[in-house]
Amino acid sequence: MSLPDLASQIVYGRLAWATVAATLLLALLDVVPVRRLPQRLLAGLLAAIFVLFMLPGAASPAYWLTLAFHYPSGLLFGCCVLKLRQHWDGQRGGGAVMMPPLAAAIAVSGVILYLDAMGLLTQGYYYAGFGPTAAPLVALLGAGGCALAVVRNTARPQAGALLTAILLFSLLRLPTGNLWDTLLDPLLWGWAVASLAALAVARGTRRTAVRDTRLPAPAPAGDLNTLSALGAAQPSSTIKEHVSGN
């Protein structure tokens, strides 16, 4: 087991947390119904965030965020970079960075690892990320799969983000020297679960709308009153005809 250099950890933590904070700011701007900010003003806000997070010691918000949440995973860092680029290219609220297959893999892996970390599984899955054989092998297979996806243009942005995270682990051992910390963290897991929940709600709403369109339209109130009147008059007319016949 080899740990990353402390200086590279500090630099990575500040840069990664600044990127996460900038992405959260842009996500807030997407949700709040405000006018689109001019490109220069937006660039100034992002630059101010990065300058603030690069301050030394406890003056940087990244210092306190690292104490509370540790380091963002390399995959979260890559996904945030994708989201920033998407927003900067003018795709406000654009395509999903957290695609359903990626979100499902992160959600399931997170449940297994967190249950193991809490002692409910006790299989040592998290500590296997420090292993001298299994972790490098998984990283090598993952890097190969990501490279193949990039070449085939299959989910290229997401594959590139995952490949970058694996390279950070392989070359610099960032962020902690554990493979799972490179691929997963609580914020990324929450993002994945929220994406799956939003997808499930959207599909449920769509199915309800399709089912409603297939149901026959209710009759207007006037037609219902006419039908009721005819139904009420029919028995009496039948009785009158029977008496007349007799």
pLDDT tens digits, 1-45: 688 999 999 999 999 999 999 999 988 887 776 667 788 888 899
* Six token digits for residue 93: 């609220």
Predicted confidence (pLDDT) per residue in 199-220, tens digit: 999 888 888 887 777 766 555 5
**Structure confidence at residue 242 as a pLDDT band (50, 70, 90):** very low
Tell me 35's DSSP state. Answer: P
pLDDT tier at 182, thresholds 50, 70, 90: very high
- Whether the pTM exceeds 0.95: the reply is no
Residues 6+ apart with CB under 8 A from 116: 122, 123, 124, 125, 126
| Phi, psi for residue 21 in degrees, rounded to 5 | -65, -40
% helix, strand, coil for the chain, step of 5:
75, 0, 25
Which residue has 């009785």 as its token pair? 239
pLDDT for the residue 34: 63
Q: What pLDDT does 195 receive?
A: 93
Dist. CA 202–CA 207, nearest whole Å: 9
